[in-house]
Amino acid sequence: MASRFDSLIQRTIPAFRNKRMTLGTSSVGFVPTMGALHEGHLSLVREAREKNDIVVSSIFVNPTQFGPSEDFDKYPQQLQEDARMLEELGVDIIFAPNKDEMYTDNHTTKVMPEIFETTAEGKSRPGFFTGVATVVTKLLNVVQPTNAYFGQKDAVQCCVIRRIVEDLNIPTNVVIMPTVRESDGLAMSSRNAYLTLEERLIAPVVFKSLLAGEQAWLDNDKQASAEEIVAEVQKVLNQEPMVNEVQYVSVDSNINMLPIDSVGPEGCCLSLALKCGEVRLIDNIVFGAIR
């Protein structure tokens, strides 16, 4: 069935490139997404619209970044609604390929950012960053943007993308934007839709626990061991019985996202992943950042 968004949505790489050529050689801002858009995504699009002549967004639920027991089959998809929101914000092209367009039967090449597989998030999701690095590299090759926009909520992912852009000499500027939160502090995520009403009410404990870790550092004149910071985070999480699996609490360099033992005035990135009921939630804060 024909849609009013047919001219906006390009589903193949040749069709996208043809459409892109008609828009000239001006600066291009790119916002890659997996759809199910929320205010976090839309804030990236607004920034791209303000700073670039042309804005492209992609919608592709990338199968290679999901593990065998993860939620690929139920990940929310709402292309027409997403297209409506993107059109209202002035996006010029939506690239929405299917799996076969991005990964042909004889596709064998992978981009493997091995050092990041050893991070807390990498260990908890084996192969995840290889899937992310591969698909982002492919999307950047297709879109060839001047600027690409990502959210700080996925902190290690942002570091991975910066690394591959530098290592592979991709001529794109990577722009990291602050995490967008609900009024109660919960980081916006498409997966928040999985939360039951009761789980949603207690989910802000994630952000609350991170702030407690930061406060321990602030209270000691911006000096604390990673062990002390983690203990403060755990103290808050232990008060909430519906947090049934803390996968990790990690204190990392805010430059390369690798673990550190102590935090001085330069700060750190404090991140965690946990299960609230059956829903996996991740979040992070950069110590001392304005928020």
167: enclosing H helix or E strand: helix 155-167
**Does the residue 4 lie in any domain?**
no
Tokens of 283: 């979040």
What per-residue confidence (pLDDT) applies to 25? Answer: 82
Domain boundaries, position 236: 190-286
**Does the residue 183 lie in any domain?**
no
- CB contact at 8 A, 231 and 217: no
52 and 125 assigned to the same domain: yes
For residue 260, the 8-state DSSP code is -
How many Å apart are CA 192 and CA 52, to the nearest integer?
Answer: 30
- CB contact at 8 A, 43 and 177: yes
- Catalytic site includes residue 41: yes
36 and 170 assigned to the same domain: yes
Tokens of 227: 């062990």
151 and 253 assigned to the same domain: no
Q: Which of 177, 209, 240 corresponds to the end of one domain?
A: 177
Q: Which of 145, 177, 209 corresponds to the end of one domain?
A: 177
Total structural domains within the chain: 2
How many Å apart are CA 179 and CA 40, to the nearest integer?
Answer: 7
Q: Edge-to-edge strands of the sheet including 28-33?
A: 9-10, 93-95, 54-59, 28-33, 147-151, 173-177
Q: How far apart are the first and last CA of the chain?
A: 45
Q: What is the mean pLDDT of each run of 10 residues along the chain (291 residues)?
A: 78 97 94 97 99 98 90 91 98 98 96 92 94 98 98 95 97 98 98 97 98 98 98 97 94 93 97 96 90 57
We report the CATH number of the domain holding residue 223 as 3.30.1300.10
What per-residue confidence (pLDDT) applies to 279? Answer: 95
Q: 13: number of CA atoms within 13 Å, CB side?
A: 13
Catalytic residue among 20, 41, 200, 280: 41
> Could you tell me how many residues make up the chain?
291
Q: What is the pTM of this model?
A: 0.95
Residue 139 contacts by C-beta under 8 Å, 6 or more apart in sequence? 30, 32, 58, 60, 95
21 and 161 assigned to the same domain: yes
Measured between alpha carbons, how far is residue 5 from residues 48, 81, 115, 142, 258 in Å? 20, 10, 41, 21, 43
